[in-house]
Structure 1
Amino acid sequence: MTTAIACETIKDEILYVSSKVDCHFPFIWLPSALHKFPDKLRYQLQSEIDQLIDEENILLLFGYCGNAVLGLSSERARLIIPKMDDCISLLLGGNERRRNLGKEGCAYYLTKGWMNSDSGIATEYNRCAMKYGHEKSQMVFKIMLKGYRSLDVINTGVDKLHELIEAARGFADILDLDHKVVEGTLDVLYKALLGQWDEDFVVVEPGEKVTFEHFDFCTHQSGMPDVISI
């Protein structure tokens, strides 16, 4: 039996793929806000893993996520994790494509899940604006996003993009950033839910711990986080 533990931020994409491949894995959803605190995310992931006692495989639909998966282990089940920096790389088709896109200028990436999540840029900006007003919030977010060139919407083929593009354009105008749509892919999610755990996945045997070496990559060192919080 395989159970998947997944981030709510990419819930729409996961459920879309699940319906396409008729996947019957049980899903455990973790709130996206945990990404702001990798240690808390690691603790919650380990807690969920420890409660799964009859599984042969536990599929973690996360990425490396700022060390959040390091040290995770299961005494009974294999842990399978996409070999990605984070969920953004997963939806862009891999770490290499993410880095290649970054050569064009650093972008803050958006999907409907990231835009609408409790820790998403829209929620954070509105929370700041309610507390400090739009003028001060605009100044704060310009400082926080200094070095970013654009707000880029990832087209995964799941969401209707019109409203998301309009929202991204609105924030881009406020923050004096460019905006565009980049093509994404759900290939890794298809492989994940079909059980095709190839070189794009870390597979950790029962009793072993997840290590940095399992991922066989250097996390990108842009110096700028992909999730902004205040």
Structure 2
Amino acid sequence: MRLKILACKVLYRELSYLSALCPNLLDVTYMRQGLHNTPEALRNELQKEIDAIDLDQDIHTGTEDSCGPIDAILLAYGLCSNGVCGLSSKKYPLVVPRAHDCNTLFLGSKERYREYFDTYSGIYWYTPGWLENAPMPSETMTDRLMELYTELYGEDNAEYLVDLELGWYKKYTTGAYIRWKELPFPQYEEYTKRCTHYLNWTFRLFEGSSDLLREFLSGSWDEDRFLVVPPGRKIAPSFDERILCVE
């Protein structure tokens, strides 16, 4: 199969590893991290990429004469605050994992994600891709904000502004690192421990799984784990355990 993949950059290491082992012909475009913070922006950027593929004008894909037609467009995202809802391709099937967010992709199943979510309240997830591409809750983040606001508003005002901006930290009680045996990064695991100690959170280490992403790339799209959207149809939230459905 020849597959076009649109993925958040936090999945770069995991998808790169699995792509190298996959027998299918894969063309991956990584989107910048942070688009999910504004779901409409994520939807718009992904739809632009899909439209470009439909028109065969995306420089990442090339032309059908040079590369051959693709079999499907894979979206390496979860529901992501409904950011993928409404997406559609006029020409190709869209395939997306049934997941609320990317942590399901790292953990390997929506059931495991649900289990941890229900068991451990207030989890903030850490992975290599998140640590490399996003400002994570940490002493480093606090210090950087303090330095910035001190320069702009003075030290007394800076302390107040940092406390205000980082007040959402209080919603969390656990910092969880997802480790893949195929891609061990002990330095990131240790850094996560330091972050949780600083934040007075409980540290937990969870073993992730490559199974879901491996099957995603292989084309083994069973209905329980993946939504396949026919050309011309749109992705929609299912509001049940399936997470996603065809509109």
TM-score by length of 2: 0.79
Q: Please give the secondary structure, in 2, of the residue aligned with 1:26.
A: strand
Gaps of 5+ in 2: 55-68, 151-157
Question: Residue 96 of structure 2: SS of its match in structure 1?
Answer: strand
- The answer to whether residue 231 in structure 2 is matched with residue 206 in structure 1 is yes
1:15 maps to 16
What CA RMSD, in Å, does the superposition of the two structures yield over aligned residues?
2.5
For structure 1, which segment, 126-135 or 185-194, has the greater mean C-alpha deviation from structure 2 after superposition?
A: 126-135
- CA shift, 1:170, in A, is 1.8
% same residue:
29
Q: Distance in 2 between matches of 1:128 and 1:151?
A: 21
Deviations 1:13-66 (A, max 9, x none): 011111122442111110012121111010000000000135331011111111
Distance 1:37 1:158 in 2: 32
The answer to which structure, 1 or 2, has the higher relative contact order (CA under 8 A, 6+ apart) is 1
- Quickly say closer, same or farther: Cα 1:17–1:146, change in 2 above 3 A: same
Please give the per-residue CA displacement for 1:118-158, whole angstroms capped at 9, x wherever unaligned. 44445754542332369668745762122322111101224
Partner of 2:37: 36
Measure the CA separation in 2 of the matches of 1:214 and 1:100. Answer: 18
Q: In structure 1, what is the equivalent of residue 155 of structure 2?
A: none
The verdict on how the C-alpha distance between 1:156 and 1:176 changes in structure 2, with shifts beyond 3 A counting, is same
Q: How far apart are 1:91 and its partner, in Å?
A: 1.2
State the Cα distance separating 1:181 from its structure 2 match: 1.0
**3-state SS of the aligned residue for 1:3?**
strand
Counterpart of 2:184 in structure 1 is 160
Residues 1:172 and 2:196 are matched in the alignment: yes
Q: Closer, same or farther in 2 for the Cα pair 1:82/1:146, shift >3 Å?
A: same
* Alignment counterpart, residue 95 of structure 1, candidates 97, 102, 110: 110
Is the aligned partner of 1:109 residue 2:125? yes
CA-CA distance at 1:216 after TM superposition: 5.0
**C-alpha distance in 2 between matches for 1:130 and 1:75:** 49
CA contact (8 A) 1:151 1:179 kept: yes
Matched, 1:148 2:172: yes
Count of residue pairs the alignment pairs up: 219
Partner residue of 1:129? 146
Q: In 2 relative to 1, CA 73–210 (structure 1 residues): closer, same or farther, beyond 3 Å?
A: same
Of 68-77 and 163-172, the range deviating more from structure 2: 163-172
The unaligned stretches of length 5 or more in structure 1 are 220-230
